[in-house]
Chain A
């Protein structure tokens, strides 16, 4: 266990490198390995049948769903901690939820948020996520993953760029790993897909950090359809 004292802002002289490695590790308990966000439906109906098709859809998801919505929320949650004493965090959390059209998309985001919040509480004893929990409780809301992530990483003393880039990387690599379990993709092919996404991740980070709160949006209507249909998929391995 990492001592609580390690998770302090950089102003106190702490290098966040090790905490970044830990939080972005697939072993960090967020439950994201069980969510496909509708991709499992595309696998079931053979819309995705090859690694190449999976890569195209993964990249589109990152660019046109995550970068313009959840990653924007990550950046704004981060700024809420540093510059606004979380005054607007409840409104941001509501916006994140309202942008998700399907029940499973909302539940996946809330479940990952709860898991992340518990992990930061139990592992790091982070003050920022403790405050977020109080605010969410007061507003009767479930904290969403993007919001918890932004708040927690600000509390860990990461930079905004590190926070948004690791969120994008973690989202992409987690979903790629889920597809790797459901499709015949070798480990090396999977890692090649993740490596090839690096420039896109940086581009998406720029997009997310420059985007105003009121411009949070998604374009992937076909994924909305898949996420809704996933609720009635007869045989499923993922929760969303």
Chain B
């Protein structure tokens, strides 16, 4: 029996301001099932789907708040049984609204993937609105024989809002996307734009793109797949991307002009790796 430790709510957490979801991903009844061992609003539990019509549940995480108002915090904590497999995504982008009082809005994701388990974690993008202060922490722990497809996408803001948009108009973005292998850091994709010159430089750092994604893959992958991924991404308009491989680790960095272009690039990477990771093709995830 796998232990599924939970994050317990702090009594100081304000109701409605501090979301919490504890998930236990279990092997049961010949398939993987996800139990919400506890949750607090604005996270909502509405069950899972088996969109591939097999043993793998798809969880569409719902934050009924619609976004992060100043000072809002969310914690998602999940543990996958050894040998289980699950896909976790969101119903919509994580929108971080303006923080006029100087407070920070925060999102904490921690997922432990058991031995031989497969996690496909592909949330929608984070959108830091003008004037927002954003703290993001995503930590995924894997074992040597786990399999992982994990994405992290950040937009520059509400790109097409109003006449000129809101790109890179937030006050602070402190974002960390970490994958640990057997407790040791494998990838630390930490981006801190908390000073005015750092926020101002981001447009240059992203080479004029408005959306950025990181894709981290861990598993037994075919020879030369990184070359084929990069070749595919080269064929997408409005996208600049690279792929790099070290043994079982494959990382991709994607920069894109538009949201849909970034989503398409991520999906193309998934199409390449999913047959090797999950033994089945990638699919368009139904969210409605």
Contacts and interface: CB of A to CB of B under 8 A. Distances in A.
Nearest to B216: A101
Interface stretch (A2-10, A19-27, A222-230): A222-230
Contacts of A217: 176, 190-192
Interface string B235-263: 00000111111100001111100000000
Interface stretch (A92-100, A162-170, A175-183): A92-100
A65 to B, nearest CB: 9
Contacts of B198: 64, 219
A50 B206 CA distance: 20
Interface residues of A, number: 33
B187 A101 contact: yes
Nearest to B195: A207
B192 A215 contact: yes
Interface stretch (A102-110, A113-121, A146-154, A187-195): A102-110
Nearest to B252: A228
A221 B205 contact: yes
A159 interface: no
22 contacts: A56-B204, A64-B201, A97-B185, A98-B188, A99-B190, A101-B214, A102-B242, A102-B244, A104-B244, A215-B192, A219-B198, A219-B205, A221-B205, A221-B206, A223-B205, A225-B241, A225-B254, A228-B230, A228-B242, A228-B244, A228-B252, A229-B230
Contact of B243 (A63, A104, A228): A228
A231 interface: yes
Contacts of B176: 217
Given A60-B204, A64-B201, A215-B192, A222 B255 contact: yes
Interface string A201-240: 0000000000000011111111111111101100000000
Which range contains the number of B residues in contact with the other chain?
35 or more
A60 B244 contact: no
A60 B205 contact: yes
Interface string A22-66: 000000000000000000000000010000000010001001100
Contact of A219 (B186, B201, B209): B201
B176 to A, nearest CB: 8
Contacts of A106: 246
Interface of B: 176, 178, 184-193, 197-198, 201-202, 204-207, 209, 212, 214, 226-227, 230, 240-246, 251-255
Contacts of B227: 232
A104 B226 CA distance: 14
Chain A interface mostly: helix
Given A98-B188, A101-B253, A222 B245 contact: no
A169 B242 CA distance: 29
B229 to A, nearest CB: 10
A174 interface: no
Nearest to A222: B207
Interface in A62-105: 63-64, 68, 94-95, 97-99, 101-104
- Residue with the highest number of chain B CB atoms closer than 10 Å, among A63, A106, A221: A221
Given A221-B206, A222-B206, 5 more contacts: A64-B205, A98-B188, A216-B190, A219-B202, A225-B241
A-B residue pairs, 6 tightest by C-beta: A228-B242, A222-B207, A98-B185, A217-B190, A102-B244, A225-B242
A139 to B, nearest CB: 10
A209 B172 CA distance: 21
Contacts of B191: 217-219, 221
Nearest to B208: A222
Contacts of B251: 101-102, 228
Contact of A60 (B184, B201, B209, B243): B201
Contact of B245 (A97, A103, A215, A225): A103
A223 B206 CA distance: 9
Contact of B246 (A103, A216, A218, A226): A103
Given A98-B185, A101-B214, A220 B242 contact: no
